[in-house]
């Protein structure tokens, strides 16, 4: 019994750490709220951005675990690049994110207050997306006169295990495992309004070099998003955001942790152009309900630079 209890305690601590300091630099993969992720754009669009986020709040654990009053403050810097292109007559895109995170966590372990700080590179993320219905591949000239309709898109996100990781440390920024999320995204425009719904599932490989030589596994984690977007013009818009994610129970050294999630978050996003090629995006999200895991308030700002491929000259 004592051995199992210690294993659960270790598993709970690492569960907290992974929630706080993993890929996405404080924008946790399951909790991501990204309106207009399947929005139309002309082919040959390139965008580069640099984001900053700050998350602060509490973490809810299994009551049987002797860890209480867990709070954290996490900073993240998130550079990213993406590009659109045509694929089978449909709009497609690829993007890459390479986060850096730093922050601290405090909590009472067996009624003794402990704290820990970490900083370093997070696990990079790759995303591929394409439209299945609607959203044809259009040049910049064609895009300007095209009337957008309902679109159904599909995407795959891959989180690569290249972030900072040391198996001799219980808490790391990197996760030392692969993660994959296939997702469907529906977008329905109605005048200046757009209604969006996404549904995806995270799948995880095992961490075979976990602290103490153990193997850490995680069940699939379902993630759902809904957004209501109002566009003042194509580059000035605001959105109300909501996400719900459930599942993701972990097993450490063959012992099941009581950490199955069932959490909701809400927030808003505002995009503001500052020049013909530059814009700012402001975000705010907060935990609404949380069964197990983080209940954070997160604020963020991102600068983005947009440019287009030059048209090919005629022969």
Q: Cα separation of 183 and 281, whole Å?
A: 23
pLDDT band at 261 (very low <50, low <70, confident <90, very high): confident
What secondary structure does DSSP assign to 63-127, as a single string? Answer: TTSSEEEEEEEEEEEEEEEEEEEEETTEEEEEEEE--EEEEEEEEEETTEEEEEEEEEE---EEE
Q: Cα separation of 176 and 206, whole Å?
A: 8
Burial of 97 (0-12, 13-18, 19+ CB in 10 A): buried
Q: Where is pLDDT greater, at 118 or 199?
A: 199
pLDDT digits (tens, 9 = 90+) for 108-128: 766 677 788 889 999 999 999
Residues 175/207, Cβ–Cβ less than 8 Å: yes
pLDDT band at 260 (very low <50, low <70, confident <90, very high): confident
pLDDT digits (tens, 9 = 90+) for 149-170: 999 999 999 999 999 998 888 7
Q: Does domain 2-306 have CATH number 3.40.640.10?
A: no
Residues 217/240, Cβ–Cβ less than 8 Å: no
Residue 63, CB-side half-sphere exposure with 13 Å CA sphere: 1
Q: Kind and range of the H or E element at 189?
A: strand 179-190
Which residues, 6 or more positions from 250, have their beta carbon under 8 angstroms from its beta carbon? 11, 15, 216, 217, 218, 219, 256, 257, 259
Residues 192/162, Cβ–Cβ less than 8 Å: no
**pLDDT value of position 172:** 81
Q: Give me the sign of the Cα torsion angle 18, 157, 180, 292.
A: positive
314 pLDDT more than 60? no
186 pLDDT more than 50? yes
SS3 state at 291: coil
pLDDT band at 293 (very low <50, low <70, confident <90, very high): low
Q: Cα separation of 286 and 293, whole Å?
A: 13
Model-level pTM? 0.87
pLDDT digits (tens, 9 = 90+) for 37-91: 999 999 999 999 999 999 888 766 555 555 667 788 889 999 999 999 999 999 9
Percentage of the residues of the chain whose pLDDT score is greater than 90: 59
């Amino acid at each position: 019994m004592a051995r199992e209890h210690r294993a659960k305690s270790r598993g709970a601590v690492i569960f907290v750490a992974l929630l706080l300091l993993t890929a996405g630099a404080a924008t946790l993969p399951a909790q991501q709220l990204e309106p207009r992720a399947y929005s139309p754009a002309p082919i040959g669009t390139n965008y580069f951005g640099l984001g900053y986020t700050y998350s602060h709040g509490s973490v809810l654990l299994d009551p049987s675990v002797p860890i209480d009053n867990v709070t954290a403050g996490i900073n993240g810097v998130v550079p990213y690049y993406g590009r659109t292109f045509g694929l089978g007559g449909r709009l497609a895109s690829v993007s890459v994110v390479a986060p850096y995170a730093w922050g601290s966590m405090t909590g009472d372990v067996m009624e003794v207050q402990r704290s820990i700080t970490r900083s370093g590179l997070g696990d990079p993320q790759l995303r591929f997306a394409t439209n299945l219905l609607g959203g044809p591949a259009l040049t910049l000239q064609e895009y300007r006169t095209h009337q957008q309709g309902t679109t159904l898109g599909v995407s795959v996100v891959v989180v690569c295990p290249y972030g900072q990781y040391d198996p001799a440390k219980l808490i790391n920024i990197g996760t030392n495992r692969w993660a994959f999320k296939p997702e469907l995204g529906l977008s329905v425009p109605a005048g200046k309004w757009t209604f969006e719904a996404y549904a995806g599932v995270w799948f995880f490989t095992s961490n075979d070099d976990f602290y103490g030589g153990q193997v850490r596994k995680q069940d699939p984690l379902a993630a759902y998003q809904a957004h209501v977007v109002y566009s003042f013009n194509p580059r000035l818009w605001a959105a109300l955001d909501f996400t719900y994610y459930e599942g993701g129970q972990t097993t450490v050294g063959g012992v099941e942790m009581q950490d199955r999630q069932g959490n909701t978050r809400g927030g808003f996003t505002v995009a503001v152009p500052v020049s013909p090629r530059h814009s700012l995006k402001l975000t705010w999200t907060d935990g609404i309900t949380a069964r197990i895991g983080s209940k954070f308030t997160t604020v963020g700002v991102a600068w983005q630079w947009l440019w287009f491929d030059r048209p090919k000259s005629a022969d």
